[in-house]
Structure 1
Amino acid sequence: MSSPSLPTARLPLRPSPAAPATPLSRRGGPVRSLAASPAPARAVAVALKPLVSKAPASGSYRSALLLHRRRHALPESAAVTAVPEPTPKVTKKYQDWDSLTATLAGSANLPFLLLQLPQIFLNYRNLVDGNKTALYAVPWLGMLTGLLGNLSLVSYFAKKRETEAVIVQTLGVFSTYVVILQLAMAESMPMPHFVVTSAVVAAGLLLNLLNYIGWLPGTLWLLWEDFTTIGGLTVLPQVMWSTFVPLVPSSILPGIICGSLAVAAVVLARMGKLSEGGTKFVGSLSGWTATLLFMWMPVAQMWTNYLNPSNIEGLSAFSMLLAMIGNGLMIPRSVFIRDLMWFTGSIWACGLQGWGNLACMYCCNSISREFFFGTTFGLFLWLGFTFARDTGAYGNSSPMTSLKELVFGK
Structure 2
Amino acid sequence: MTPIPQLLGHSRLAQRSPSWVPKHPHMRNLLGRRRTLCAATKANDNPEYASWNKLTDRLVGSASIPFSILVLPQVFQNFVNMSNGNPQALSIISWEGYLSALLGNTLMCSHFADRGEASAVNVQLVGIANNMLVLAQMAFASFMPVPIFAAVAAVVGTAVAISIARAQGALKADSDSSGSLGPWRLWQLFSGVFGLAVVPQVLYNVLYPGNPTPAPGLTALAVAAVYFGVIARGPGQAKLVAGLPGWASTLLFALSPLPQLVRNFIDACSLEGLSVGTMLLALAGNALMVPRALLVRDVVWLAGTVWACVAGWGQLLSMFMRESPTTGLRFVSPPIFYAVSAVMAAYFVYVLAKDARVRTHSSNSTDKGGPSPAPSAAG
TM tier relative to shorter chain: 0.7 to 0.9
The 1:191/1:220 distance shift into structure 2, 3 A limit, reads farther
Q: Please give the per-residue CA displacement for 1:20-59, whole angstroms capped at 9, x wherever unaligned.
A: xxxxxxxxxxxxxxxxxxxxxxxxxxxxxxxxxxxxxxxx
Q: 1:141 aligns with which of 85, 88, 96?
A: 96
Please name the residue that 1:199 is paired with. Answer: 154
Q: SS in structure 2 opposite 1:216?
A: coil
Aligned residues: 318
1:360 aligns with 2:318: yes
TM-score, length basis structure 2: 0.73
Q: 2:221 aligns with which of 253, 259, 266?
A: 259
Q: 1:269 aligns with which of 228, 231, 234?
A: 231
In the TM superposition, residue 97 of structure 1 has moved relative to its aligned partner by 0.5
The 1:294/1:394 distance shift into structure 2, 3 A limit, reads same
Q: 1:226 aligns with which of 183, 189, 192?
A: 189
Q: 1:84 aligns with which of 13, 35, 47?
A: 35
AA of the residue aligned to 1:116? V
Q: SS in structure 1 opposite 2:256?
A: helix
In the TM superposition, residue 100 of structure 1 has moved relative to its aligned partner by 0.7
Please name the residue that 2:298 is paired with. Answer: 339
In the TM superposition, residue 335 of structure 1 has moved relative to its aligned partner by 0.7
Moved more, 233-242 or 370-379: 370-379
Does the 8 Å CA contact 2:97/2:258 hold for their aligned counterparts?
no
Does the 8 Å CA contact 1:111/1:323 hold for their aligned counterparts?
yes
Q: SS in structure 1 opposite 2:183?
A: helix
In the TM superposition, residue 298 of structure 1 has moved relative to its aligned partner by 2.6
How far apart in 1 are the matches of 2:81 and 2:110? 34
In the TM superposition, residue 288 of structure 1 has moved relative to its aligned partner by 1.0
Does the 8 Å CA contact 1:294/1:345 hold for their aligned counterparts?
yes
In the TM superposition, residue 139 of structure 1 has moved relative to its aligned partner by 4.2
AA of the residue aligned to 2:35? P
Please name the residue that 2:360 is paired with. Answer: 395
How far apart in 2 are the matches of 1:372 and 1:173? 28
Please name the residue that 1:379 is paired with. Answer: 344
Q: Please give the per-residue CA displacement for 1:184-210, whole angstroms capped at 9, x wherever unaligned.
A: 444544443333223212211211111
The 1:83/1:127 distance shift into structure 2, 3 A limit, reads closer
Q: SS in structure 2 opposite 1:236?
A: helix
AA of the residue aligned to 1:295? A
In the TM superposition, residue 236 of structure 1 has moved relative to its aligned partner by 0.8
Q: 2:116 aligns with which of 161, 175, 181?
A: 161
Please name the residue that 2:163 is paired with. Answer: 208
Q: SS in structure 2 opposite 1:215?
A: coil
Please name the residue that 2:203 is paired with. Answer: 240
How far apart in 2 are the matches of 1:338 and 1:81? 17
Q: Please give the per-residue CA displacement for 1:217-266, whole angstroms capped at 9, x wherever unaligned.
A: 543322321221122111111101111116x9544332122111111123
Q: Which has the larger radius of gyration?
A: 1
Q: Is there any run of 5+ residues in structure 1 with no aligned partner, and where?
A: 1-68, 71-79, 399-404, 406-410
1:350 aligns with 2:309: yes
How far apart in 2 are the matches of 1:327 and 1:283? 23
In the TM superposition, residue 334 of structure 1 has moved relative to its aligned partner by 0.6
Q: 2:54 aligns with which of 96, 99, 124?
A: 99
TM-score, length basis structure 1: 0.68
In the TM superposition, residue 368 of structure 1 has moved relative to its aligned partner by 3.2
Q: SS in structure 1 opposite 2:343?
A: helix
Does the 8 Å CA contact 2:195/2:245 hold for their aligned counterparts?
yes
AA of the residue aligned to 1:350? C
AA of the residue aligned to 2:308? A
Please name the residue that 1:330 is paired with. Answer: 289
Does the 8 Å CA contact 2:279/2:315 hold for their aligned counterparts?
yes
Q: SS in structure 2 opposite 1:84?
A: helix
In the TM superposition, residue 142 of structure 1 has moved relative to its aligned partner by 3.2
AA of the residue aligned to 1:381? A
Does the 8 Å CA contact 1:229/1:262 hold for their aligned counterparts?
no
Please name the residue that 1:75 is paired with. Answer: none
Please name the residue that 2:267 is paired with. Answer: 308
- Report the RMSD for the aligned CA atoms in angstroms: 3.3
The 1:194/1:373 distance shift into structure 2, 3 A limit, reads closer
Q: 1:177 aligns with which of 126, 129, 132?
A: 132
How far apart in 2 are the matches of 1:245 and 1:121? 30
AA of the residue aligned to 1:102? D
